[in-house]
Structure 1
Amino acid sequence: MTTDDTSDTDVLAQRFEAHRGHLRAVAHRMLGSTAEAEDAVQESWFRVSRSDTSGVDNLGGWLTTVVGRVCLDMLRSRRSRAEEPLETTAPIHTAAPATTPAADPEQDALLADSVGVALLVVLDTLTPAERLAFVLHDLFAVPYEEVAAIVDRTPTATRQLASRARRRVQGADAPEADLARQREVVDAFLTAARGGDFEGLLDVLDPDVVVRTEAGVTTGAAAVARGATAFASRGAAAGRPALVDGAPGLVLLAGRRVERALKFAFVRDRIAVIDIVTDPGKVSRLDVRPD
């Protein structure tokens, strides 16, 4: 290898490292395992290091599609073997960039905060193609045209994949019996919030529950329960059960206008994800029906 080739590889490795955190986040959301996510990123580097990137204008976007393809292959292989993701997965033997950093506990914490085990369990109900379409488009804003090239579908079919995955994540495809049980859980959540019943809230929250708002993310049953008891003093009494985009939820009304909406997703009869929508424009686009 010439000096110029070595220099080019070093530059590419440095550019790859600049995107490593983002690629790890994509892989973690796709695979649900820190170890497998690291394997996917390293496999992506192996592929990238053998590719001609001179014509790539948007390296970050291109790398996202590369790691997406790797994760899709891993998900399909996992499903064919009927395996569950394991944190002890053996690493793929690939050449890593010379500048590979040590594990970053802060980055791992951010990944856990933004995803949560509960949401990953929900994502595990999706097919590999549905999961990739949902994760890349909804969580990382990758255009449908680029996702379509990865899953070998048309953009229209890819849009349908993401839409179907979105409905499942939001609980819209739940059987009627499950929907009735979920309504009971929401009622119990509202009752506990109104009464400031911390233990009652813990009973209906998944230990790894994730709350997402426009301002940020809160994770963990204790933190969410504390927030819900504070919410009791600010308006839980005005909360009303409703179907929000087809899933059990709550709304707060200002007169007849919906001021705030809470959308729930469930894992094993506990609340796993709460999306709190307060932006007036977003609230106006919700399909809210009295429950």
Structure 2
Amino acid sequence: MTTDTATEVFEEHRSVLLGVAYRMLGRVADAEDVVQEAWLRWSGADRGEVREPRGYLVRVTTRLAIDRLRQIKARGETYVGPWLPEPYVTDFGNTVPDAAERAVLADSVSLAVLVVLESLSPLERAVFVLREAFGYPYAAIAAMLDRTETAVRQLAGRARRHVDERRPRYEVDPVQRRALTERFLAAAAGGDLEELMELLAPDVRLVGDSGGKAKAPLRVLESADKVGRFLVGAVRKGVAELSVRLLELNGGPAALALSGDEPDAVFQLDVADGRIQAVYIIRNPDKLRSLAGL
């Protein structure tokens, strides 16, 4: 296999590798670093011995992501305020023609699921991602991770139970989410508390991620009254001066707020029963850099 051919093969699978790495790490920059390292391993490998390039590359990427995740956990860094994953641009386009498969991929990269995955061990997270998001058989995952199939099934069972117990049950209908997102943005921008109260579920939660580097609630806000009044107050303090555009992030519609040309915040909603169940606001500037220029 020539260098040019090796590059073509790698680029063919890059989006899958980035998807695996991001779901493992919840950080775009770290995921890109892992994929770059996978390329270096691939370019230096004896590719003539590789019978199935995609499987080989996913295995390398997964192992590198496990190592990176262990390093992150070992540092034991303290995060200021609630933590949310770094926003990830998702546009499956024509690469996922099946609606059911698209829904699975979108759900596995949602903010709510990634927050739960943070509490899994690196191996549990790897097994969950490979099995639930990408549908790999247990035997294939066992080979990738150098574990027995029995051990992988046990890891998968623990991870699945953990996620099922902690993951909120939100709908993933993108049409409804987009419609509610547009109504929410209009009501918030207009400071219309009455309309917001109509949109918000009584027990709605607002999670703001600033990392201590921007203004956002340092605790999760709960109840329609608290969330609605916070949003109206934020508008009165100048948030309304931002321009907003809709795009797809983490498998669903989201709003990117811009101050001039610079990303200032990301808003995303989870909905169920026709009302907003959760509001996510990401304002940590370190997590918005990958959205510059969109």
TM-score by length of 1: 0.52
- Deviation readout 1:189-231 (Å, 9 max, x if unpaired): xxxxxxxx743327425669xxxxxxxx645687654x6329x
Name the residue aligned to 2:273: 228
Structure number with larger C-alpha Rg:
1
Q: 1:125 to 1:106 in 2, by over 3 A?
A: closer
The counterpart of 2:13, out of the listed 7, 13, 19, is 19
Please report the RMSD computed on the Cα atoms of aligned residues, expressed in angstroms: 4.2
Report the alpha carbon displacement of residue 153 of structure 1 after superposing the two structures with TM: 2.2
Correspondence 1:46 to 2:40: yes
Return the alpha-carbon distance in structure 2 between the equivalents of residues 80 and 223 of structure 1: 32
CA distance in 2, matches of 1:84, 1:142: 34
Provide the residue aligned with 1:199 in structure 2: 199
Aligned residue pairs, count: 185
Identity %, equivalent residues: 40
* Structure 2 unaligned residues grouped into runs of 5+: 94-101, 171-196, 209-250, 255-266, 281-294
Deviations 1:149-187 (A, max 9, x none): 343321101111011001111117x9xxxxxxx89x9xx
Which of the numbers 135, 138, 157 marks the counterpart of 2:151? 157
Residue 76 of structure 1 aligns with which residue?
70
The CA deviation at 1:141 is: 1.5
What one-letter code is carried by the residue in structure 2 that aligns with 1:57?
R
Distance 1:115 1:206 in 2: 19
The answer for unaligned runs of 5 or more in structure 1 is 1-6, 90-103, 175-181, 186-196, 209-216, 231-268, 273-291
**Alignment of structure 1 residues 90-239 onto 2, 5 Å:** 107=91, 115-171=109-165, 198-201=198-201, 203-204=203-204, 218=252, 224-225=270-271, 228-229=273-274
- Structure 1 residues 50 and 140 mapped into 2: Cα distance closer, same or farther (>3 Å)? same
Q: Write the letter of the residue equivalent to 1:148.
A: A
- The whole-number CA distance in structure 2 between the counterparts of 1:136 and 1:106 is 18
Q: Is the 2:66–2:123 contact (alpha carbons within 8 Å) kept by the matching residues of 1?
A: yes
Q: Which has the higher contact order (CA 8 A, sep 6+)?
A: 2
CA distance in 1: counterparts of 2:65 and 2:148, whole angstroms: 20
2:138/2:153 contact within 8 Å kept: yes
Distance 1:155 1:271 in 2: 39
Distance 1:73 1:142 in 2: 21
Change (3 A) 1:54 1:206: farther
What is the rounded CA distance, in whole Å, between the counterparts of 2:206 and 2:110 in structure 1? 10
In structure 2, what is the Cα distance between the partners aligned to 1:207 and 1:123? Answer: 17
